[in-house]
Structure 1
Amino acid sequence: MPNFSELNELCRVIPDDSRHFPNDVFRAMKKLGLLKISVPNKNSNHEAQLFQTLFEIGKASLSVGRIYEGHINALKLIEDFGTRDQQEFYFNEAENGKLFSVWNTEMPSEAVTGEIKDEAVHITGAKTFCSGGLQIDYGLITAEIDKQKQLIIIPLKQFERLEEDWSLWNPMGMKNSVSCRIDFSELKLPLQNLLGGGDEYEKEPWFSGGAMRFAAVQLGGARAIIQATRDHLVEQARTSDPYQQQRLGNMAVQMQTGKLWLDKAQHIYDYPEQYTSSEIVNFANMMRTVILDICEKILHLAERSVGVQGFMESHPLEQLYRDLKVYLKQPAPDLALQSVGKYTFDNKN
């Protein structure tokens, strides 16, 4: 595993500013080789540690973890659906420190569409919550083309007229993920920038299976909450308080449970051929559900342990608390749990 000490120090001094992209952190991540960690057949010694890496980065900064998870997601999509030429080019770019992301969220009134004409794809529409903004080198977006959802790779640095719109990004937490709106209207791209076929973006098991990655980042954020709580109690000389010991013990149990889920997720990621598609999807739905529950319990215990001091801007817990509360708001949690129930009814084993 890489030494995360430098990364932790850099994350500690990131301004809590929704317009501030943590460039220093990603330069350090490039130096550590983390931007190429999931490139196939590269850094195989790192690959077995992907989920632990996501956890460690989430512990350092959830905003950085959100951007990094999007980078890993993009490389996975290129691995699954890219042509040999696309894989060779974009994986080489990742090895050289280029940053990728995947942006799918949009408002219905400005949904992204594409039209193929004159050997090119012409884009109209905008995406919201584009984590990383224009600091990203390659944005993978979805566009409706011929009534199918099509992935398109956009080399963002080639389009100087693109702008970051901050009107929708004024969050309570996760500010440094700089998740702005970007309008892609009037962009024209060559057909080789299309990734895979129509509707492959939502192909299972990895459309749902990707939830394992963001759950690992969330758990890292919860680990930072525990550390901040422990540090506070030590500083306040309250380590002998039996109620505080009970709360911290409960947190430790919750965290150990979460880490066992990470271990299983890593095995599935490393050996997907040992599982059916439905098994992977079901596990991902279970994992995101249980990690959400673990994180919410840890937040509650931290709040009880530290009290109002933890809600002061000067307190280390305050931003960690806000960031995790926001990052836990992932789409369709009820549907994920319903799907687990349906799977359980449908499978006797």
Structure 2
Amino acid sequence: MPVAPTLAFQDTLSRFRNALRLLEKQEEHGPVDDEENFPSRLLQKIAEIGALSATLPVENGGLGLHDSPVGMEALSELLRLAGRLNLALGRCLEGHINVVRLVSLYGSAQQRAVLAEYLQHNILAGIWVTDGTPPVALVRSGNEIRLTGQKGFASAVRAVGVALITARTEHGDTVMVLVPVGEKARMGPGPGHLTGMSGSGTGSYDFTGVVVPSTNIIGKPGDYLRQPEFSAGAWRGSAVALGGMDHLVHLLLDELRGRGRASNPHQQVRIGEALILRETASMWVRRAAMAACNSHAEAGETVAIVNLARIAVEQAALALIPLVQRGLGVMAFVRGRPVERVMRDLATYLRQPAPDETLTEAAGWFTEHEWPKDMT
């Protein structure tokens, strides 16, 4: 059940938000990261203001951002800012937060403390679930487990220090395992060169021969796919995408002002439409965040609202991209310019699995149920 934030929590949260705003101002005219490289400099700055450990539960030294509506708003701000600064950074921060959330929900007190120890040393966590060849499996041996196989789509493979992975047991079940990573010899190439999001540092990681204590298994078999969390967590990705939209709108306005074209009535139509799209996405992200922390709602309702938000943000972002292209003309297609890079990154980031199924399942829920009257 969401809890009311204390005055101490609100004070800490206020200082955290101020630090985020200061970072945004510092980066606005700062150097642009090489899109082929992981944004290590930005990650370091995010870590310095405490963003990696702030996502922990209160009892583990964090702010417990998932525990109240005001905390969820702050978490949304963090993810949105990260996406605005750099979508590859946002993708990796969202994965980090996913790890914290899953361990908080399904892990033991000792496991939560172990993860907190990593994060308090500013170590980035990653969630790697897409298998390579062969897939990751585990075999128990006394109080230890031995892993085999590869993860083939490991985001930030050279920056992550601890990964939450899925693995198949001898009985065919799927379990989550928290594993220290970072051995360069185990790192390999990813699925190929993506047209966008290349800065996310996606590669492969070979777990063959890795031995960890059996206490590193998080939760029970099937917990990773347990609803509503499995689907409801998608709101965080939508918040990152919203940050990418913020960046595009900013670049559109900045370029048109620089050309002296912002007052042109045709361009003002595009500006107005861009603002509508961005704010529509913003309202849906907030709606999804509030649904995700509503402990009184049925799981199906939570999943349906978050899924509708995911599709709404995707549609708004995909409509924004050609709008920016029409507004800026051929200069929006010059390889390496910030606006061209952000559009490629955003288009790639939005390609999440099963959009049609996501939409129809959400519509199916509200075909049989009324829309909730109070989301807060």
Shorter-chain TM-score tier: over 0.9
Cα distance in 1 between the residues matched to 2:197 and 2:49: 24
Shift of 1:119: 2.4
The one-letter amino acid of 1:134's match is R
Deviation string, structure 1 residues 215-253 (Cα, Å, up to 9, x no partner): 110111011111111111111111122111001101101
Shift of 1:122: 1.5
Counterpart residue number, 1:199: 222
| Partners of 1:74 and 1:140 within 8 A in 2 | yes
* 2:56 counterpart of 1:34: no
Aligned runs of 1:242-261 on 2, under 5 Å? 242-261=265-284
Aligned partner of residue 201 in structure 1, secondary structure:
helix
Cα distance in 2 between the residues matched to 1:199 and 1:187: 22
Cα distance in 1 between the residues matched to 2:29 and 2:142: 47
Give the paired residue count.
Answer: 343
Cα distance in 2 between the residues matched to 1:280 and 1:348: 13
Counterpart residue number, 2:374: none
The one-letter amino acid of 1:188's match is V
Under a length normalisation based on structure 2, what TM-score does the superposition of the two structures give? Answer: 0.86
Counterpart residue number, 2:38: 21
* 2:343 counterpart of 1:325: no
Cα distance in 2 between the residues matched to 1:95 and 1:137: 12
Counterpart residue number, 1:92: 117
Deviation string, structure 1 residues 307-332 (Cα, Å, up to 9, x no partner): 11111125321111110111011111
Counterpart residue number, 2:76: 51
Cα distance in 1 between the residues matched to 2:93 and 2:30: 13
Aligned runs of 1:1-349 on 2, under 5 Å? 1=17, 2=20, 3-5=22-24, 8=27, 12-17=31-36, 20-41=37-58, 42-43=62-63, 47-48=71-72, 49-107=74-132, 109-145=133-169, 146-157=171-182, 160=183, 162-166=185-189, 168-269=191-292, 271-348=293-370
Q: 1:203 to 1:217 in 2, by over 3 A?
A: same
Cα distance in 1 between the residues matched to 2:174 and 2:41: 35
Deviation string, structure 1 residues 108-127 (Cα, Å, up to 9, x no partner): x4221111123221212111
Shift of 1:345: 2.5
Question: Which runs of 5 or more residues in structure 2 are unaligned?
Answer: 1-16, 372-376
The one-letter amino acid of 1:93's match is Y
Shift of 1:337: 0.6
Under a length normalisation based on structure 1, what TM-score does the superposition of the two structures give? Answer: 0.93
Question: Which runs of 5 or more residues in structure 1 are unaligned?
Answer: none
Shift of 1:5: 2.6
Shift of 1:264: 2.0
Shift of 1:104: 0.7
| Partners of 2:148 and 2:210 within 8 A in 1 | yes
Cα distance in 1 between the residues matched to 2:106 and 2:30: 33
Identity over aligned residues, as a percent?
Answer: 26
Shift of 1:9: 5.1
Aligned partner of residue 57 in structure 2, secondary structure:
coil
| Partners of 1:38 and 1:47 within 8 A in 2 | no
Moved more, 176-185 or 258-267: 258-267
Cα distance in 2 between the residues matched to 1:186 and 1:240: 63
